[in-house]
Structure 1
């Protein structure tokens, strides 16, 4: 029997059905779509594909045509429901279907074949999702380019993915022209905008000249994000293999059994259940209405717009983030689901009272935070902020994961309502497997014992960095014959299985032979009432090798001094080498777009002309 076949899936069904995650995924689908709508979608799918062909697709497990028909049928059924809203532009599912089919045919006319890539350099908006869905229908991965990159950094990111077509917003025209001679694989440039430029195909022209019929189908989810690049060049990550293996013959087989792959797949997609998608339904539009304030190119933001992909949600895209505009859109568009980073919460909290109190935020149900550490105090403040503006229940949800793993853990309100101490955790490993490993002694750590965080998810079992086979190999460790992804983080599990992150290996400070992790020091300094943020980094020390340096961002108008910081650290329980030897102040700390501190930039200043570790 072939490993991936109708009968092999059938054999695994009884086991999968008894998983809570499976029942949760089904519950979300039923609550969001409804049984009548599900039946309509299935009927249209079979009608569009043909009854005999549909049966053949199932029994031969060649699902490309069937799944493509299902997505298009879903858009048919949703019809005039709003799909994507960007400013004054409101695209319905009927319009989305027409535009996706035209783009898919247009891309094929430009020469794209299954497994060829086309990259996007687009702001948040309907064009991003049209390209994503079009690429999925024709089996072409779409690298998500970071539009903050310029020059050689942008050229390098594009070349690592080897796309044949680049779709970009006209605001990036000059950036693209500046690196055009350095791009080794791009043959066609498609620009979103109205001004015709040399050697560029206008996006809307491509759509208008292409038919809105079904293209030649080779279904594979086109998800192809990059790692954050905070510790090096962004690496292109192959989500299309992890998510696509079950439905597409163009996706590579994961490095695990079908049984385990199916388990990890169900666990991964269950994040919609853990984040309460089954509890959210707008009274007017009868669906989830979600907001996208962070750049959609970032891997973590996929959590924010998955209901748009699977459940007929209405997505409201913010082209550029603005704290008050976010509140305004929550009220105006009745937003119930949003992915944010801790920096966004901080910006909301620091708005003037007369601005914060103007808006009714009672529609919010799931405020999903990730991508960077959030303190327990910030999490509690987020809940209070929304409760004071109309929400009846706690809204803060969190996940730990990375571009390589996708979601691993989830922290949900029930966790910390039962035990407030869990606010310091990132939840339980509900969407993957996680263990704490002692590398020096080659054993798994006991509860509350600190060690290296190892993960296994659907994504890690297929992980491959484009153009970096050695890097791919280097991030895995084998324990008792099982392959684990080493995320470069340090942490521990408590007695109940909650995960606590305590540091990053590359940020570890070795002071006089003592290992010091910045997280604890940062948390304590951040608790000072005159501090907005802090970054703790390594600095050279003649006697000790390295020492603790704290770069503090004080509140505007603050007169806080180094001695104030040191005194606060001592009173809060820090001692010895953990007390910062260097304290500096900065009006604004450098941050990556996903909210993570760019510590390397701060650390470089201390190490100029000195050789350092890592």
Structure 2
């Protein structure tokens, strides 16, 4: 890859300007900030950095000081605008700036240097974002730890990230102390809480003892999430390289050309445009007001809070999810943008009518869904739900992506309003590149032909699993000299470029030599009026090798049985090996916090003592 420089980037600008995605990104910035505010931020940025130094930063393409000044200038301009709301605590941008600078200086005083890591184990709240911004200013990636992990799983996740400092909420004190002797790199433990406990320092004490001046700057966007871990141990993913390369001297070069990287960069950040950020502006606060009901540590949740980073949005954090509380906050805080998983939609739909109908949801514009499959019926139900409570237009948006890729495809209301059949798709590859590949014949698939889903995004061109070089190598395939990421999914693309996911390779059931993917069977069973949730997994079969097993969670007081389910499957078009041979009922199905079914737990019961494929 050619070295980045002012002139090499300048040469690419004419081409980038004519991209629809570039115009979309600009439209969002103008809508959310306004030209006057943009000019104010730029003026303050140059003033803070110094005019001569600013010119030097641009021409040498050493942008650290300029980028740091820009973030601080944004917070200055936004001033008393609310930044983060958690319960009764309302932090303004002025307060956010003060706290971020103090934390950045405090972390450096504890010995952090550029490229060192510090990890967070935090519930949704202002401290997460303060740490994220502080780490970005001083060049230190921040691994996002899953606070559902305990014991050896938590210790393993921390050790794989090799942080020198751990910042955690008081709720997790016992969990942290229990594994403290197993943590090999952590030197300092910083706890968010009111009461000092053994072996830790208090977060607020660290802030109060530190200066609110600009720290020694070394920019590196601190984004460092883990993969979901539903098919194995969570893997640490280096977003700080992909997102930060252009502005950071500590980020590693992507494995592609500068021209290609810049194209993929613009495509990736355009998701705010595709999800309608250019159409949302609260009348009172003149910005996007967003809600964070899902854990902010999850990679997919970044989509939900990006406007907080870039556009001066107001973010409302839910420390613990509650379906009615979500509706209450949408009305109270005039929420227009929220990222959710399908499980949350389902919980909203199943609230009692007297609860659902209490709230005015007319402020909602963009309901963004991802992380797990959503059926066409669920998408339609989500739109009906919000329209019945005040929304004038369809609100459902969707994306396909993963922790490794970030956003690849987007499904927007215009897509399915033009053709309702597209509700079964995950949209078009607007934020990256995607192709359907036939591995057996080593060629790209024709429209509507099923194959492996390969994609390329800004993130895949920098992807590296910390401590797992062999794993990193194993997820890529070269086709005609181009490196593609294999996400382990099967699907097809129609004539218009819309992508349909069929299933996951690891979940494929081979029954009597026939390849069966669970998605279709799950969708049909889920449509039964008495079914709340379903997981279709593989089970051993002496004759067929493997067979279809359906584990079903019924609605309360339901009395249907196996034969009712099988008859429903037959009536809705399932034939032969696709009809479940085993049907079991469970009180509740295991789901990961991002909404994905943890099918391995269900399969283990069927395969106990039997060697299985994969």
Query: Shorter-normalised TM-score: what interval?
Result: over 0.9
Q: Deviations over 1:71-111 (max 9, x none)?
A: 00000000000000000000000000000000000000000
CA separation in 2, counterparts of 1:23 and 1:213?
Answer: 36
In structure 2, runs of 5+ residues without a counterpart are none
Q: Deviations over 1:257-291 (max 9, x none)?
A: 00000000000000000000000000000000000
CA separation in 2, counterparts of 1:193 and 1:267?
Answer: 40
Alignment match, 2:210:
210
CA separation in 1, counterparts of 2:154 and 2:555?
Answer: 34
8 Å contact 2:221–2:244 — kept in the other structure?
yes
SS at match of 1:54: helix
CA separation in 1, counterparts of 2:100 and 2:321?
Answer: 26
By how many angstroms is 1:199 displaced?
Answer: 2.1
CA separation in 2, counterparts of 1:552 and 1:196?
Answer: 47
By how many angstroms is 1:201 displaced?
Answer: 1.0
By how many angstroms is 1:195 displaced?
Answer: 1.1
Alignment match, 1:294:
294
Alignment match, 1:541:
541
CA separation in 1, counterparts of 2:237 and 2:25?
Answer: 25
Q: Deviations over 1:410-467 (max 9, x none)?
A: 0000000000000000000000000000001100000000000001000000000000
CA separation in 2, counterparts of 1:457 and 1:463?
Answer: 10
SS at match of 2:297: coil
Aligned residue-pair number: 614
CA separation in 2, counterparts of 1:495 and 1:411?
Answer: 16
By how many angstroms is 1:3 displaced?
Answer: 2.5
By how many angstroms is 1:2 displaced?
Answer: 6.1
CA separation in 2, counterparts of 1:75 and 1:213?
Answer: 14
CA separation in 1, counterparts of 2:364 and 2:291?
Answer: 10
By how many angstroms is 1:363 displaced?
Answer: 0.1
CA separation in 2, counterparts of 1:443 and 1:144?
Answer: 38
By how many angstroms is 1:198 displaced?
Answer: 1.8
CA separation in 1, counterparts of 2:513 and 2:479?
Answer: 28
* TM-score, structure 2 normalization: 1.00
CA separation in 2, counterparts of 1:171 and 1:23?
Answer: 44
Stretches of 4+ aligned residues off by more than 6 angstroms: none
8 Å contact 2:2–2:257 — kept in the other structure?
no
By how many angstroms is 1:587 displaced?
Answer: 1.5
SS at match of 1:503: strand
By how many angstroms is 1:533 displaced?
Answer: 1.2
Alignment match, 1:269:
269
CA separation in 2, counterparts of 1:319 and 1:24?
Answer: 32
* TM-score, structure 1 normalization: 1.00
Q: Deviations over 1:281-339 (max 9, x none)?
A: 00000000000000000000000000000000000000000000000000000000000
In structure 1, runs of 5+ residues without a counterpart are none
CA separation in 2, counterparts of 1:526 and 1:147?
Answer: 30
Q: Deviations over 1:484-533 (max 9, x none)?
A: 00000000000100000000000000001110000010111111111111
- Residues 584-603 of structure 1 correspond to what in structure 2 (within 5 A)? 584-603=584-603
CA separation in 1, counterparts of 2:578 and 2:111?
Answer: 59
Q: Deviations over 1:135-194 (max 9, x none)?
A: 000000000000000000000000000000000001101000000011000000000001
CA separation in 2, counterparts of 1:526 and 1:337?
Answer: 27
CA separation in 2, counterparts of 1:573 and 1:123?
Answer: 45
8 Å contact 2:2–2:258 — kept in the other structure?
no
CA separation in 2, counterparts of 1:197 and 1:574?
Answer: 59
CA separation in 1, counterparts of 2:361 and 2:145?
Answer: 32
CA separation in 2, counterparts of 1:409 and 1:365?
Answer: 19
CA separation in 1, counterparts of 2:486 and 2:169?
Answer: 36
8 Å contact 2:121–2:169 — kept in the other structure?
yes
CA separation in 1, counterparts of 2:187 and 2:145?
Answer: 17
CA separation in 1, counterparts of 2:430 and 2:444?
Answer: 19
Alignment match, 1:320:
320
CA separation in 2, counterparts of 1:360 and 1:571?
Answer: 39
CA separation in 2, counterparts of 1:71 and 1:422?
Answer: 39
Structure 1 vs Structure 2 CA RMSD:
0.7
CA separation in 2, counterparts of 1:349 and 1:2?
Answer: 52
